[in-house]
Amino acid sequence: MQRPFIDAHVHLNTNTQAKLQLAAQYDAYFVSINTDIPFFIDLKAQREMINTLNQSTQRSFFITSFDTQYWNTPRWLPHAIEQIKAGIAAGAKGVKIWKNIGMDENLKDDQGNFVLLDDARFDPIFQYLSDAGIVLLNHQGEPRNCWLPLEEMTVASDREYFAAHPEYHMFKNKHYPAYETHMAARDRVLERFPKLHYVGLHLFSMEYDLEEVAKRLDRFPNSQTDLAERICHVQLQTMHNREKVRQFFIDYQDRILYGTDVIDDGSLTAEATAAKLEQLWQYHWEFFATDHLMEAAEFEGSFNGLKLPESVLKKIFYSNAVSTYMLDVP
């Protein structure tokens, strides 16, 4: 296992210690991504949680965000900018925009249209981040499976989730924006703000085809991507064309960040959360670092690990996160 290494996409919303003890054991660091999610603690509490965790051991960094509670009022933009500045002043390493932009029934314009990422009212935020050299992290849309019938979804985890939560299954919600609409809105923002340092989380939400991810990385040279909660999609493509997938990681070794997307919200015990992190770290490392014959719970069949060069592994699991988020680590 790479030591030290960075799990650059988690959500640490409890002050339990087991995960920190695990991190010390693995010489690991966390980047906790604060997010405007209704079932999370509020953004200020998320920020303060990282400060609390760092009082015992300094292994956690955070990304700030802003909310939309004053949308469609003159107060919205000053409030959002104030939240961003407060987060950065408190040590945030970047700013996150979540999928609620474009997928929230309550977030519409005066004409009743869903607000998308390229709404001009976000432009002052993008310009501010670009001018200040602050990195923007964006979870845009959902996996493409979200817009497909259950039987056409490519991984079991998506089928299970959307079967249990049909209200979030876009195939059944035709009045919501289409998958392609989300991707096009994101691309238009990056075209308008070419100097913006951008991390397209979850493989740019184009996890179904690494060629599409590569096109965005080529088209937008100030962009990067992360692997959080989408590694099973990489493994599925590996089963069909291992060398093509392996070459993607070699070609874009400077642009990819590792992360698990583990949510630590108290729904699991502290020990269970730590065990989940450890299992994922070991399993993912085996996939990227060895050529072992492996299986994934999300689909049938087997595949060989990618066995990436050590220099590439170090970048994906450590140094890319350090340089992207300017982390003060050994």
Exposed/middle/buried for 47, CB within 10 Å: 0-12, 13-18, 19+?
buried
In whole angstroms, how far apart are CA 245 and each of 95, 129, 177?
30, 33, 30
Residues 6+ apart with CB under 8 A from 302: 239, 293, 294, 295
- Amino acid 110: pLDDT: 86
Phi-psi region of 307 (alpha: psi -120 to 50; beta: other; left: phi over 0): left
Domain range summary for the chain, segments of one domain joined by +: 5-325
Tell me which amino acid residue 63 is: I
Q: Are 101 and 107 in contact (CB under 8 A)?
A: yes
| Dist. CA 42–CA 275, nearest whole Å | 26
Between strands 136-138 and 198-200, the pairing is parallel
* pLDDT by 10s per residue, the chain, length 330: 899 999 999 999 999 999 999 999 999 999 999 999 888 999 999 999 999 999 999 999 999 999 999 999 999 999 999 999 999 999 999 999 999 999 998 899 889 999 999 999 999 999 999 999 999 999 999 999 999 999 999 999 999 989 998 988 999 999 999 999 999 999 999 999 999 999 999 999 999 999 999 999 999 999 999 999 999 999 999 999 999 999 999 999 999 999 999 999 999 999 999 999 999 999 999 999 999 999 999 999 999 999 999 999 999 999 999 999 999 997
Query: pTM of the predicted model, to two decimals?
Result: 0.96
Distance of CA 110 to the CA centre of its chain: 30
Q: What is the pLDDT of residue 165?
A: 87
pLDDT at residue 270, as a whole number: 97
- How far apart (Å, rounded) are the C-alpha atoms in residues 48 and 52? 6
The class level of CATH for 5-325 reads: alpha beta
Instruction: Report angle CA 14, 34, 174 to the nearest 5 degrees.
Output: 115
Q: Is the peptide bond before 124 cis (omega within 30 degrees of 0)?
A: no
Q: Which residues contact 59 (CB under 8 A, 6 or more apart)?
A: 20, 23, 24, 28, 29, 30, 53
CA distances from 94 to 57, 86, 100 (A): 21, 12, 18
Find where tokens 């999609």 sit. 233
DSSP assignment string, 224-283 = EEE-TT-HHHHHHHHHH-HHHHHHHHHHTTTSEE----EEESSSS-HHHHHHHHHHHHHH
Each residue of 152-185: b (16+ CB within 10 Å) or e?
A: ebbbebbbebbeeeeeebbbeeeebbebeebbeb
Q: Please report, for the chain, how many H helices and E strands are present, in that order.
A: 14, 11
Q: What is the pLDDT of residue 210?
A: 98
Question: How many CA atoms within 13 Å lie on the side-chain side of 186?
Answer: 31
